[in-house]
Amino acid sequence: FLSLKVENKTKGRLQKQICQVVLDHFEKQYTAELGDKWTSVRDVLTCPSCWQYAILLNKFSQSAELENTLRVEGYHPAFQGTLPYLPRSLKCYISRTPRRFPAQKHQTGKLKEYYLLNAASVLPVLALEVKDGEDVLDLCAAPGGKSITILQCAYPGQFHCNEYDDLRSRWLKQTMESFIPDPLVNLITVSKLDGRQIGDFKPELYDKVLVDAPCSNDRSWLFSSDTQQAKFRLIQRKELSSLQFQLLRSAIKALRPGGSLVYSTCTLSKAENSDVINLILKSCTNVMPVDISEMAKAVSQEFTFLSDTQQHELLVLPEKGKAWGPMYVAKLRKI
């Protein structure tokens, strides 16, 4: 049985160098957008030793021993109580202190017992509320964490996982093979289509669509490997909201009337979050916002949210002891 002693990776994480170009950019933008809250968020984002990792258990490779060990080690369920949607099969454990279990290596023919992730990554899946038998599209699915979280919750009728980038698509396939048993893997479609065109290829085919969009990943961008890469990323950043808007338009076309869509990013940027959703709501007359404030209320003990968001959206702000996020989530329904 895998030793569950925490690996001491702090030293390696502390050796990461903060990219001053990106930090200066964030300082200016997020001070304007978040005000005083930016200071505490910045303190977490620039301190990898503060970062926390949740443990998503794999129901297809259950281990009572692992669950018992987690509880003994001081871990507790991240999601409990009166959530609007919380399948019993979804088990995600967190600890108040920053520590990390060793990641399990991919072994052909052997399922992993757990997946390490940012606990806020589960929130888009909880907002999507997938039920057994529903047809589901994960439009930008790599590396696969949200796809396997969906499968911990329910058995979709057809499950289509799409990833346009070739390298990331291979990563997605490997994640699926590591967590999902053969009979079920064979029922999952993994494609490499341009997400902006899926709505035209597959109109009104899905009950639920997740758009976990490409975004300016605040955590990783702060540690860009060199200044040139950082400058290039910041130029690219201006174009991301246009791509995100196009992906959402495509997702809406792929949705059946009455179907639901969840949009998520791992950035704090207003331009990539609420601005994109507001533009969609203005330009698409066949979608309406869906209130997800009850879900946010139910998990407010474990997550810190930006207070002045609308009822159909939430933004998780990292803080010490609750270092989850950034994660933006918004929910829409097709009329």
Task: Give the annotated binding-site residues for S-adenosyl-L-methionine.
Answer: 140-146, 163, 194, 212
DSSP letters for 126-188 = HHH---TT--EEETT-TT-HHHHHHHHH---SSEEEE--SHHHHHHHHHHHHHHS-HHHHTTE
Sign of CA dihedral 257, 259, 264, 269: positive
Helices and strands (H and E) in the chain: how many? 13, 12
Binding-site residues, in ranges, read 140-146, 163, 194, 212
* Helix runs in the chain, H state only: 10-14, 20-34, 37-45, 64-72, 123-128, 145-153, 166-179, 182-185, 198-201, 218-221, 227-254, 274-283, 293-298
Radius of gyration, alpha carbons of the chain: 19
Structure tokens at 21: 């170009």
Q: State how far the Cα of 173 lies from the Cα of 142, in Å rounded to an integer.
A: 9
Residue 266 known to be catalytic: yes
Distance CA 272, CA 267 (A): 8
Q: What is the DSSP letter of 232?
A: H
- Please, are residues 98 and 52 in contact by the beta-carbon 8 Å criterion? yes
* Identified catalytic residue from 153, 215, 266, 284: 266
Contact 54, 76 (CB under 8 A): no
Q: Which two tokens stand for residue 330?
A: 């918004």
Residues belonging to the active site? 266
